[in-house]
């Protein structure tokens, strides 16, 4: 994939700890063969990298940086500020001044460590509600709505050689897109650098909103920003809500896990058509889209096996559980061959 689209955009994957530590040689070979951009699934999230007030754990994050450098891959840091998977001590901070100190030290310590070693940061992740208003997170509660501007300002100071992105899901939908645009304009009006916006791309088979995606690519580009698709997967299992809020859950029910013993060919064919149409759109806007990252390498790794229902058998990516290319993989490559 990386060679097929080398003249258009980077092709990325999100890696877990086992992949970063190269525990499976077949997996490592596939990653090196197919991808030229990497994002950590979890090891740079604050609960992992900053477990206590005065304690940082860079062990696996440093290994990821070394892996990316060794293989000449672009690395996107994910994520400096996010309300979920937050450092466990942070929610217990009562003083606003102390919370601001945590916020400042967290960004400066991590961003400065990797300045020049990684290509980009998701500085703030998922700060918006579906209607485009600011999410009532602990950051909004403690620091006010300008915390996003301040996060980008601090990241700009700490990592002058790193691109800075805002990342969210459903920000291709009109109401949330409008809120995202207003947020970006506020950052720009404050004279603070923002280089791009990430559209996560957690979509459902047969329901990929191509019209809204195209409108969003054009709208974000009009702000002078790069556009990335940062967490792409196309889910095949049923659920009763849209979006990717990790705090939402559904009760376990056999009807919600219909493909335990394999997935029907017609569902794989629809998924292939969805991926093909998506990548055709990305190619149409290759002057605006700079990276397309899959949220995982193979179906077995995907977070969608355990969310919003634990223990399901999902099939959202381009490689199956044996690392064999799926029809969707072939459909995407066929666009250039």
Active site residues: 126, 231
C-alpha triplet 143, 146, 147: angle, nearest 5°: 50
Q: Phi, psi (5° rounding) for residue 267? A: -70, -40
Q: What's the token pair of residue 153? A: 């300002």
Distance, in Å, from the CA atom of 133 to the CA atom of 122, rounded to the nearest integer, reads 20
CA distances from 243 to 37, 64, 189, 308 (A): 25, 28, 29, 11
**DSSP E strands, 157-222:** 163-168, 196-199, 202-204
Distance, in Å, from the CA atom of 162 to the CA atom of 188, rounded to the nearest integer, reads 17
28 contacts 323 by C-beta, under 8 angstroms:
no
Q: What's the token pair of residue 156? A: 């700009």
For residue 233, count other CB atoms closer than 10 A to its CB. Answer: 25
Distance, in Å, from the CA atom of 217 to the CA atom of 129, rounded to the nearest integer, reads 20
Helix runs in 223-304, H state only: 265-284
Q: What does the DSSP 8-state code read for residue 91?
A: G
């Amino acid at each position: 994939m990386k060679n097929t689209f080398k003249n258009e955009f980077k092709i990325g994957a999100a890696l877990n700890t086992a992949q970063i530590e190269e525990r499976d040689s077949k997996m490592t070979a596939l990653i090196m063969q197919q991808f030229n951009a990497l994002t950590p699934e979890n090891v740079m999230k604050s609960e992992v990298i900053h477990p206590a007030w005065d304690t940082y754990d860079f062990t696996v994050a440093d290994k990821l940086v070394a892996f990316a450098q060794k293989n000449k891959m672009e690395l996107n840091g994910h994520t400096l500020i996010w309300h979920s998977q937050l450092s466990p001590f942070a929610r217990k901070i009562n003083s606003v001044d102390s919370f601001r100190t945590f916020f400042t030290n967290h960004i400066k310590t991590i961003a400065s460590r990797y300045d020049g070693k990684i290509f980009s940061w998701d500085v703030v992740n998922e700060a918006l509600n579906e209607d485009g208003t600011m999410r009532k997170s602990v950051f909004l509660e403690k620091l006010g709505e300008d915390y996003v501007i301040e996060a980008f300002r601090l990241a700009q100071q700490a990592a002058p050689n790193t691109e800075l992105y805002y990342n969210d899901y459903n920000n291709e939908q009109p109401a949330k897109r409008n809120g995202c645009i207003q947020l970006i304009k506020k950052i720009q009006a404050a004279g603070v650098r923002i280089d791009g916006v990430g559209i996560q791309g957690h979509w459902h088979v047969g329901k990929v909103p191509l019209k809204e995606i195209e409108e969003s690519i054009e709208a974000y580009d009009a702000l002078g920003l790069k556009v990335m698709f940062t967490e792409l997967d196309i889910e095949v299992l049923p659920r009763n809500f849209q979006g990717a809020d990790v705090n939402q859950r559904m009760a376990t029910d056999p009807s919600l896990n219909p493909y335990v013993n394999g997935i029907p060919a017609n569902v794989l064919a629809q998924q292939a058509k969805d991926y093909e149409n998506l990548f055709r759109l990305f190619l149409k806007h290759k002057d605006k889209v700079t990276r397309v990252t899959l949220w995982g390498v193979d179906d077995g790794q995907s977070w969608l096996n355990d969310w919003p229902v634990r223990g399901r058998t999902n099939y959202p990516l381009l490689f199956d559980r044996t690392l064999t290319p799926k029809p969707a993989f072939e459909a995407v490559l066929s666009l250039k061959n």
